[in-house]
Amino acid sequence: MNTQDENDNPPIFTQNIYEIVVPENLPPGTVIGSVEATDADVGSNGQVAYSGSLQNLVVINNTTGEVVLLVTPDFETLTMQSIQVSVLLY
């Protein structure tokens, strides 16, 4: 008998809210934080991908969950921003 894992568990973020404080004048391409989700399934059923971006300011690396700057932040023009990140099954 060979039993295979069924993809029956949803991915879950390890935190409900992630807060990242970004210093002014960091160069584009800087990793400013990351998000993480886990899936209780095993093998390929347990792999997750991330999705999210914010008005061409930051992007989420779909494999690692790293939050990467796309522009140099300037306190005078950017104050508080929020982003919604989705976690997807592979």
Length of the chain measured in residues: 90
Q: If you average pLDDT over residues 27-36, what whole number do you get?
A: 96
pLDDT score of 13 more than 70: yes
The Cα–Cα gap between 85 and 51 comes to 6
Residue 6: pLDDT band with limits 50, 70, 90: confident
Domain ranges of the chain: 25-89
pLDDT at 5: 65
- Was domain 25-89 assigned CATH 2.60.40.60? yes
Residues 6+ apart with CB under 8 A from 14: 36, 37, 38
**pTM to 2 decimal places:** 0.82
